[in-house]
A = this chain, B = another copy of it.
């Protein structure tokens, strides 16, 4: 039952009580909570109030709701760790690029859909690629799948003057992928930078990545630089935060 004198909204009291019971183990991962109509009786509030409480737990990512079945404690999914070593030259030599290297290491069956297009550089792209706004870019839109499920969206952008005449402007870039083609054209890779953030997904991303309720996305912008420091490529990646963790290692000093 809720305390109507405390000043704390009823739906928050219900949410807090359910949250406590879940973390205490009264409802273990995968367990079904009592039905919303049962909770109405338990707490003595109306159904919309119960739904408001359940919604709060849903956006926190603690529970998921399944139409016609019930409300369930969200099972903790397994986390796949992506290491920066996925970009080594050795890995490139063996296959078609970073994503396939990861697939091989983890034993899932990769596939991807690619669309190539051209656009002019906006403010942000111009900044990362150190080109003038409006310069023509080659854009590769990729949807990557593991065993059929979409796991990553990636948009790669390169100044078109680095890609004319190469397979980078084709759907299939050939063995070693984009980076191998760049090196063949005399652009030797010198360094990488990755900028990592997180945000809530757009509805499009949520459905494409089959994101669970209350799951943010991790965004990674990778910039590849030539040996002389000239930016060659920027790659905007979007990953499901409950399935991926990014790892970086470096020597002290």
A27 at the interface (CB under 8 A from B): no
Q: Chain A, 181-204, contact with B by CB distance < 8 Å: what is the 0/1 string?
A: 000000001111111111111110
* Given A198-B218, A199-B241, A241-B197, A192 and B60 contact (CB-CB distance below 8 Å): no
Contacts of A199 in B (CB 8 A): 61, 215-216, 241-242
- A81: interface (CB < 8 Å): yes
CB contact under 8 A between A251 and B218, given known A61-B200, A202-B60:
no
Contacts of A90 in B (CB 8 A): 253
Which residues on B sit within 8 Å (CB–CB) of A97?
A: none
A162 within 8 A of B: no
Q: Give min CB distance, A38 to chain B, whole Å.
A: 23
Interface positions, chain A 204-253, Cβ under 8 Å from B, are 214-218, 224, 241-242, 244-253
Residues of B within 8 A of A245 (CB): 195-197
Instruction: Name the interface residues of A79-99: CB closer than 8 Å to any CB of B.
Output: 79, 81, 84, 87-90
Of B19, B191, B193, B216, the residue contacting A216 (CB under 8 A) is B216
Which residue of B59, B217, B218, B249 is within 8 Å of A196 (Cβ)?
B218
Within the assembled complex, what's the spacing in Å between the Cα atoms of A87 and B248? 14
Establish whether residues A88 and B200, one from each chain, have CB atoms under 8 Å apart when the complex forms. no
A218 contact from B61, B87, B197, Cβ within 8 A: B197
Complex CA gap A61/B198 in Å reads 12
16 residue pairs A–B, Cβ–Cβ below 8 Å: A16-B203, A55-B55, A59-B200, A59-B214, A88-B253, A189-B253, A193-B248, A195-B245, A197-B218, A197-B241, A197-B244, A199-B215, A199-B242, A200-B215, A200-B216, A216-B241
The list of the 10 closest CB pairs from A to B, nearest first, reads A198-B198, A216-B216, A198-B241, A189-B252, A193-B249, A196-B246, A89-B253, A248-B248, A197-B245, A61-B200
